[in-house]
Amino acid sequence: MRIPPLISLAVVAAAVAIVARLWHDHQPTRGHRARARPLTSDDESLMFARLREAFPEAVVLVKVALAALISVPVQERNRLRHRLVDFVLCDASLRVWAVVQLEADEEMQAFRVGESAQVLLENAGYKVFAWTSPPTVATLHDALRPAQAAGPVAVAEGPYGPRPSMG
C-alpha cells in the first residue's frame, strides 16, 4: 500500500513541530528571567571591608568552593559540590593562611557535609575562624594575626593525587 506524498509530508511536518516545541520548552531560561544579584550580603560586605582593613597586605577571597581547598577521594567529591566558605585569606602568592566563616548558628547546620566543613578544613591543616556577625577590625586583627604569623598552610600531595591542571 502506498502512502500519498501529502500525508507523508504532513506527518514529517507534525513530527518536526513536536520536536521543536519540546526543544523550546526545555531551554534553561524558558519562563525565567535571569537577574544579577549582589555577590555578598550586607554582613558579608561589612566583614570583607573589615578583613581588608585589618589585613591590607592580604588577598581576601570571597565565597570559595570547599572543594578548591581540600582533596578528597573521588567518590566523596559530590558531597562537597556547591559548598562554599565565606572568606579565604591568602598571601600575595595565593597561599592560604586562614579561612573565615560568617554564618548564623542555624546556617552552620545547613553547611554540614557529613562531618562539619570546619572539621574537614581543620583536618586539612587550615586555621578556621567563625563568627555569627562581623566582629570589629581590632577583634579580627587580634584573632587572625597569629594565623598570619604562622604562615600559609602547607599543601601536600595527598593520597588522592595532585590537583588537575588546566593545560
- CA distances 112 to 31, 54, 78, 96, Å, are 33, 29, 13, 22
The grid cell for 134 is 562581623
At 94-142, the pLDDT tens digits run 999 999 998 755 554 554 444 578 888 998 999 999 999 999 999 999 9
> Is a pLDDT exceeding 60 seen at residue 167?
no
Write down the pLDDT at residue 160. Answer: 53
Rounded (10°) angle between helices 137-150 and 42-54: 60
**What does the mean pLDDT of the chain come to?**
81
Alpha-carbon span 58 to 50, nearest angstrom: 12
The residue-averaged pLDDT of 42-57 equals 96
Helix-, strand-, coil-residue percentages of the chain, each rounded to 5: 45, 15, 40
Question: Model-level pTM?
Answer: 0.70
The grid cell for 35 is 537577574
